[in-house]
Chains A and B, each alone.
Chain A
Amino acid sequence: MLRIQIITIIASVAFLFLVFRMVVKGRLREEYSIIWLLFTGILVTFSFWEKGLLLVSNLFGVYLPANLVFTISIFIALVYLLHLSVVASKLQKQNKLLAQEMALMKIEIEKLKEEIKPE
């Protein structure tokens, strides 16, 4: 086994373990963990199966397997970042709605307090 293989195996298994732990502790929601688990799984697979990367590279017509890895991972990272921006936008929208509802409710509470105040 190559030295680089051992390093990637250790790194990706450690990463997988980290993701698992965060989901278990409730610090990462399951729906966001799917993509991480999936890609760590792929990483682990190719760490063990070194011929696989060469095979896939040939399939795509890429000379250097490393280029394929870079291209795919950068693309995935970009898509995921976009997804996170969408999530942030949604959260901001919900946050605004909640703040407004809350402020309007405070007025209602004040009104009610005035009404039930003993004479």
Chain B
Amino acid sequence: MMNILIIIPCFNEQASLPGLISDLGNLKLPEKYNVSVCVVNDCSTDDTRQVAKKLDVILIDLPVNLGIGGAVQSGLKYALLNNYDLAVQMDGDGQHPPAELQKMIACYEETGASLVIGSRFIVKEGFQSSFLRRLGITYFHWLNKFFTGKSIYDSTSGFRLFDKKAIQLGARYYPDDYPEPESLVFFSKAGLAIKETPVVMVHRNGGQSSIRSFTSFYYCVKVTLAMFFSFIRKP
């Protein structure tokens, strides 16, 4: 029996959350997997909390806004505390279709990697996002190759599967804002195997991306710096 915790970090996702949870409930996974869903409410200003309370989920209700990294880490801490075998991070806006989870688990079973990333770019299908964002992702691909020596295409993807080792590490240290590319450097320095598997992502149903054009320059600078410091920091 394998216990999987699905971590859904939410900031103002009241509209898309019920649909996502019911999709997850209808999900067919191999017998040996036992799925629990955990919603992390990152101090939303809408009714996300009330909506999540009515659903059949574990609700981690943060008293202050910690940002995506802090929210995901809360979920990882819960997973560690309750001895889950796997944890999956998934966006609350419906960008990551629950059906794609099967591909992630298949990739995990096949490779035994500690971290599986759901990637938009290995096979080009589904929602590919805007030109500027793709440019940024190309830059991060190059940067990741430089810092980790691995070719990871979709380093900003927030659709990820953590095994026990990755849960343990992530619960101890996880960056606060824009955590995805930086955490790859961190995990890869710690010697974890990272694998990427193609998934199809859909256009956002509602809510706002944590990366908006207005702040994208800051995003690039901050992430580049964070990756650099993660690279030279002793694990």
**Counting CB contacts under 8 A, is B61 at the interface?**
yes
Residues of chain B with a CB closer than 8 A to A103's CB: 40, 60-63, 74
Residues of chain B with a CB closer than 8 A to A92's CB: 176
Q: Could you tell me if A96 and B63 are in contact, using CB atoms closer than 8 angstroms?
A: no
Closest beta carbon of chain A to B42's beta carbon, Å: 10
Residues of chain A with a CB closer than 8 A to B81's CB: 104
**Counting CB contacts under 8 A, is B66 at the interface?**
yes
Give residues of chain B (57-80) contacting chain A, Cβ–Cβ below 8 Å: 58-64, 66, 70, 73-74, 77-78
**Counting CB contacts under 8 A, is A102 at the interface?**
yes
Q: Could you tell me if B176 and A96 are in contact, using CB atoms closer than 8 angstroms?
A: yes
- From B40, B59, B70, A96 is in contact (CB under 8 Å) with B70
One digit per residue, 1 when the CB lies within 8 angstroms of any chain A CB and 0 when it does not, for chain B 176-205 equals: 100000000000000000000000000000
Q: Could you tell me if B66 and A96 are in contact, using CB atoms closer than 8 angstroms?
A: yes
Q: Could you tell me if A100 and B61 are in contact, using CB atoms closer than 8 angstroms?
A: no
Q: Could you tell me if A99 and B64 are in contact, using CB atoms closer than 8 angstroms?
A: yes
Closest beta carbon of chain B to A96's beta carbon, Å: 5
- From B58, B62, B78, A99 is in contact (CB under 8 Å) with B62
Give residues of chain A (78-116) contacting chain B, Cβ–Cβ below 8 Å: 92, 95-96, 99-100, 102-104, 106-107
A96 to B61, alpha carbons, bound, how many Å?
Answer: 13
A92 to B64, alpha carbons, bound, how many Å?
Answer: 11
A103 to B59, alpha carbons, bound, how many Å?
Answer: 9
Residues of chain B with a CB closer than 8 A to A99's CB: 62-64, 66, 70
Closest beta carbon of chain A to B3's beta carbon, Å: 16
Q: Could you tell me if A104 and B78 are in contact, using CB atoms closer than 8 angstroms?
A: yes
Chain B, residue nearest A111 (CB)? B58
One digit per residue, 1 when the CB lies within 8 angstroms of any chain A CB and 0 when it does not, for chain B 105-128 equals: 000000000000000000000000
A92 to B70, alpha carbons, bound, how many Å?
Answer: 11
Residues of chain A with a CB closer than 8 A to B77's CB: 100, 104
Residue among A92, A95, A103, A104 with the most chain B CB within 10 A?
A103
A49 to B40, alpha carbons, bound, how many Å?
Answer: 62
Residues of chain A with a CB closer than 8 A to B60's CB: 103-104, 106-107
Supply 5 A–B pairs (Cβ within 8 Å), ascending by A.
A96-B66, A99-B66, A103-B60, A103-B63, A107-B58
Interface contacts beyond A103-B60, A103-B63, A103-B74: sample of 17 additional A-B pairs, CB < 8 Å, sorted by A: A92-B176, A99-B62, A99-B63, A99-B64, A99-B66, A100-B70, A100-B73, A102-B63, A103-B40, A103-B61, A104-B60, A104-B74, A104-B78, A104-B81, A106-B60, A106-B61, A107-B78
